Structure 1
Amino acid sequence: MASFQQSTLATHIPNELLVAHITQIHASISKLQSLKPSKQVNALFTQLVKLCTLPSILDIADLPEEVQVMRESLIKLCGKAEGLLELEFAIFLAQIPLPLNNLNLFPYYGNYVKLATLEYKILRDNGVVQPKKVAFVGSGPMPLTSFVLATHHMKSTCFDNFDIDESANNVALQIVSSDAELEKRMKFKTRDIMEAKERSLWNMIVSFWQPLLE
């Protein structure tokens, strides 16, 4: 561990060391009986996030096949864990007063703020400042990027949030319903986007697709 701590002080963490530590974390996560939030689950994924945000010159395309397989498995595990974490926090927020004022209780809220700021900058740099309507596909029970954009950057824009899971939409709607102004601008629609026939969706200027970020 000492060598790892020392290496993080360098400009880039050595590729072999980075892969070794991520592989070790993957092995630990794979042994968990549940990915629901807990001290052990949170600690492992927090460590993983810290590793993956270190400066690195690793080229994913150059990874050996067995590491590629491990990476794909880890992406799926992260997706499941993130979904469970979001659901737990969304249910919690829906039960407290002024949930939109407490979004920062979510452990990775700061990351979503940075992501939303970056996405808005990309739109602004391409001439899209305040679109009339945007769509979020795969919004989930706690669409934080949608919330942040609506309350910080696009304060007059209407948001259509699409998710295939009706229960996720219901929880998200509970959170939004605490703010009358935002509730008017933000809708939640249960759709399989691949089967959506609404012409308005395909005519929107901006659509955000929300897969797990790699």
Structure 2
Amino acid sequence: MPNNIVFNPVAEQLKTLIHGMKGTTATPFLLDSTTGKLLSTVDGSVTVAGTVTAQGTVTVTASALDVRPLSGSTDSIIVSSGSVTVAGTVTAQGTVTVTASALDIRPLSGSTDSFTLGSRIFVEDSTSIANVTGTGVVLTENTGNKSMYSYYITNTGTNTVTVKLQISPTTTATYFVDDGASYAIAGGAITVIATTKFMQYTRLYYDTGATAVTAQLYYNAQV
């Protein structure tokens, strides 16, 4: 039998074609025409250490997701553009900037607008005189922003005291003038008096005459 050369002795010309069995048919492996990488399809699961570059369509199915309520202490969301509509109550954490546009600013009208006054502010002041003889003024008050005010005098002594209200546009003593009549309050009696004219400042004037008087004096007002 002649001695024929079975293998090609030139190394650079050595080539081989690798096949795989498709059923009972030998089928050659296919390489990517651009990258030269082996093309393959895997049924089942593949574990890869490193980075995988997918070519074509990849379908990923997730299971055992950690679905839980979001928390302001651990989660956050950033809306870079567009608008968000929230149904319900929003609790803001941190700094919230609100910009308003197209405001309906118009004069109020009694036929279409109304408001409810829930309460008024009450203001009070008081002082006393004890065994005082002669004249004097007490409880000088700024009544310019008060809607209603009055003075309450109770004579706790036995001698009569005469009182009246004085009004002024300033706190300068020489600008005060009498408002209305004087009231003589006997020992043990009580009187409430109010101004008849409007000025910014009001005070209570008293005159005990030549006898000593003891009295409690009160100022009440509401805004």
Query: More relative contact order in 1 or in 2 (CA 8 Å, sep 6+)?
Result: 2
Give me the TM-score of the superposition, normalised by structure 2.
Answer: 0.22
More helix as a share of residues: 1
- Greater CA radius of gyration, 1 or 2? 2
Give me the TM-score of the superposition, normalised by structure 1.
Answer: 0.23
